[in-house]
Each structure stands twice: as structure tokens, then as C-alpha cells.
Amino acid sequence: MALFGSKKKTEEVKEAKAKPIVAKKPAVKKTVAKKPAVATKTQTKSAVGTFAHILVQPRITEKATMQAENGVYVFEVATNATKKEIGSAVKHYYNVTPVRVNIVKIPSKKVSSRTTRKKGVRAGGKKAYVFLKKGDKIEIV
């Protein structure tokens, strides 16, 4: 594919050599009004304070309740949520500062109905493990 356009390039080089050099006038600087700074994705969410879409619900399972005794709480979160957003949402709603946040993706699974034998897909999602320091607790129920 290197052959295509090679003739055009050699003709342009020959034309550039043949043109006489002319002194250019200095460019005049135009003053343009500066655009206002655009806030990033995380700044706009924290500034507005909308954390309702980040934490979907606490995940109440046998494993999660056992971990809650050790200061680890499990939440179902939005699929596009980041660790920083989850930490700030927990701080906003529960008034505790998380030490660490781990995120796990829940894969979607193929399922079939027991009664009608129709096939479908169970939606996946994302869950977050929020680690708190000793003495901090979240009252979920």
C-alpha cells in the first residue's frame, strides 16, 4: 500500500523547491475571551451532592452480615461508579469515613424458568466492599 500517493509527494516537493521565498508579515495577536473552566466528572457530582444513583442498596446476605461484624459492609453500586465516588457517598449518607473500598463486578448469567422453561439472562452488576476503621458502624436495618 506504500505505492499509492508516492507520485503526488514527489510533485509537491518539486513545486515547493521552485517557489521563491517571500518574507511573511508578523501575525497579529487577537485577544480572545477565555472559556470558563469545565469541572470534571467527579467534581460535578461531589459539588452538586447527588449520591443517590451511586449506592443502589446494601447487599444483605449471610456472608455480608458476617463481614459487617468485622467492619466490612457490602453495597450494590452503579456499574459506572468509581471507588472515590463510592467512598464519598458512604461518607455523605452514613457519616463515617471509609478506610478502603474494593469493587467486584457481578457477571450476568444465563437462566431458564422452572415452570415455562423460557431462557433468559439475569442481569449482572457491581458490588463494593467498604472497610471502616474499628469503632465505626453503619446501621443498615
> Mean pLDDT of residues grouped by 10 in the chain (141 residues)?
60 62 63 59 52 92 94 95 95 94 96 92 95 90 67
Please give the pLDDT value at position 47.
46
Of the candidates 85, 65, 87, the one whose C-alpha atom is nearest the C-alpha of residue 74 is: 65
Of the candidates 100, 102, 63, 60, the one whose C-alpha atom is nearest the C-alpha of residue 81 is: 102
The residues spanned by each domain of the chain are 62-134
- The residue count of the chain comes to 141
- Fold classified for 62-134: Alpha-Beta Plaits (3.30.70)
Please give the pLDDT value at position 12.
64
Cell digits for 10?
514527489
Residue 41, H or E segment: helix 41-48
Of the candidates 93, 99, 92, the one whose C-alpha atom is nearest the C-alpha of residue 130 is: 99
